[in-house]
Chains A and B, each alone.
Chain A
């Protein structure tokens, strides 16, 4: 009765945490843009998983876990959205903190981030997810619960929309 042994169960779960915690953190961070919020989302996702038993029947581990944390992120997103603007700018500065970078480049990146945040959800989500640890279109489709072809279409539309908006903003400067 290996599956009913609590110690074995905990070890098995611990292995999943070791393998996928960072990946789940990045999924959460891509949407929340805040380290603490992303970590909280990951912890909440693992808690939720452990209380249930569905994690023992995962077929595609990465897609299943990404979907779990993504749903939690969507619930938490409105709470995090209030401080997103400030945090995004602050973290951008720390991430790209090398003094060599020009102020113009920072401005472009900041603008682009704001434009990404301003995309409709249906375009932003596949765009963000598809860049995390080379998630495939199929995995993104599982996370979002939409067909794989729709994921590709939306990613292309998102990029095209961003480009259009970015050029319009640059032209206004």
Chain B
């Protein structure tokens, strides 16, 4: 049916040859500018320019995060801590405050705050992972240990085993022995408590 094909082509050609109103191109550009597309385009260009540098701060953040994690995990030993620790597992006791041997009073029960640098903090945590034979042989306690006993699981500090500890410290390194003597001297000094003055309310 040739007639139909001609008719169809004619209809399709009419649609295909449709003309817009005059000035379509100008109206398009005006709309592009008026809609704020130009600033957005500039912004996207800026973004395209800057995004190539994004990996740099990202890498810096990653390095910083890994460094902090590495240090806080105790993998970097502090030189002072290494000297104190020596090679003996006994000296790898956590760096917590030793309990004072004097009678329990209000002062000794108060938490003792000691400022430690970041490296020392990291090193102080590390020995907790060391499992010594004495720690494994420690009998199970009936009650949860008090605050004064925490950090002293083997009981090397405090009770009558101080002498044993001193002997071992003397055998290991002179520096450790010296440090232990200083600790004992500090513990034997009486604690001076200033008189508390309470002024009456007016």
Contact = CB atoms under 8 A, between A and B. Distances in A.
B8 A95 contact: no
A122 to B, nearest CB: 17
Contacts of B42: 6
Q: How large is the interface on B (under 10, 10 to 19, 20 to 34, 35 or more residues)?
A: 35 or more
A17 B11 contact: no
Interface stretch (B23-31, B107-115, B154-162): B23-31
Contacts of A30: 15-16, 18
B13 A131 contact: yes
Contacts of A6: 38, 41-42, 45
B32 interface: yes
B10 A38 contact: no
B197 interface: no
A96 B14 contact: yes
Contacts of B31: 43, 46-47
A25 B28 CA distance: 11
A113 B20 CA distance: 20
B55 to A, nearest CB: 20
A128 B12 contact: yes
Contacts of A22: 19-20, 24
Contact of B11 (A4, A116, A167): A116
Interface string A10-43: 1001100110011001100110010100110011
A64 interface: no
Contacts of A163: 1, 4-5, 8
B39 to A, nearest CB: 10
A51 interface: yes
B21 interface: yes
B41 A4 contact: no
B21 A35 contact: yes
A30 B16 CA distance: 6
A47 B7 contact: no
Interface in B108-131: none
Contacts of B24: 21-22, 25, 39, 42
Interface of B: 1, 4-5, 7-21, 24-25, 27-29, 31-32, 35, 37-38, 40-42, 44-45, 48-49
15 contacts: A9-B41, A17-B29, A21-B20, A21-B25, A22-B24, A25-B19, A26-B17, A43-B27, A47-B32, A47-B35, A50-B41, A132-B16, A159-B8, A166-B4, A167-B1
Interface of A: 4, 6, 9-10, 13-14, 17-18, 21-22, 25-26, 29-30, 33, 35, 38-39, 42-43, 46-47, 50-53, 95-96, 108-109, 112-113, 116, 127-128, 131-133, 159, 162-163, 166-167
Given A21-B20, A30-B16, 6 more contacts: A17-B28, A17-B29, A22-B20, A39-B24, A127-B12, A131-B9
